[in-house]
Amino acid sequence: MAFIESLQLVLAKPHPAGKPFIYGGIAVAVAGGIAVGTWVFWLAAAFTGFCFYFFRDPERVVPTRPRVMVAPADGRVTMVGPAVPPEELGLGPAPRWRVAIFLSVADVHVNRSPYEGVVTRVAYRPGKFLNASLDKASVENERNALAMRLPGGEQIAVVQIAGLIARRILCTVREGDRLERGQRFGMIRFGSRTDLYLPEGVRPLVAEHQLMIGGETVIAELPDATRETAPPVLKTDTGF
């Protein structure tokens, strides 16, 4: 069963963003193999196979348990700690818990919404292409940041950060769009990082070095509003 699941992951259909690379690789393999030689064919075929693997977009089983937030990306957690959300999102100067997920070239690069909510802000900012695992990459690297308002009024931020060899951040949503938990909203080509800023007062349930599966791994849990706002039960002395 594990082998079948691994095979399904490797052979998952590619994300639409990868089709130009895949079709281009096939065209070069055919035309180059005929006009130049077999070495061009095999080189282009290897590139095409890599693109099939890199742009794979597997289906994910999103948790049905209410009030849990899921990882916005595959990869390994490199940082967990308080940080101020990007200023362009207008979420204020107060630090909140941030979970940084580093995506290697071998990881699935599709980004998914951590929770259901409305996109209130989409802000792109140009920058450098430092190693995405560095802490300063969150400030200095090219990034695309999303702010979301959840049904309970909480606000979160998801930031797509370009990496050392990444040169293209893709975001397919706009301000005012509604996302469901686990829904795809973009991807980053060839190595990157995705940061999640949790609602104020919410602590993460993951630790550094832990592996994430985008859309499936539970990364935090929102407090139960009914428990928080319910009036205390008063005990009375009935004499029994």
Residues identified as active-site: 192
Nearest residue to 115 via CA among 199, 194, 175, 193: 199
d(C-alpha 151, C-alpha 159), whole Å: 20
d(C-alpha 148, C-alpha 158), whole Å: 8
Question: Hey, how many other C-beta atoms are within 10 angstroms of the C-beta on 171?
Answer: 18
The SS3 call for residue 154 is coil
| Residue 46, phi then psi, degrees to nearest 5 | -65, -40
Find residue 179's DSSP bridge partners: 117
Residue 121 makes CB contacts below 8 A (sequence gap 6+) with: 88, 89, 90, 145, 146, 147, 175
Token pair belonging to 163: 């990496």
Look up residue 16 and give its DSSP letter.
G
Q: Virtual CA dihedral for 158, 163, 167, 173, nearest 10 degrees?
A: -10
Does an H or E element contain 31, and which?
A: helix 19-35
Nearest residue to 129 via CA among 161, 99, 83, 84: 161
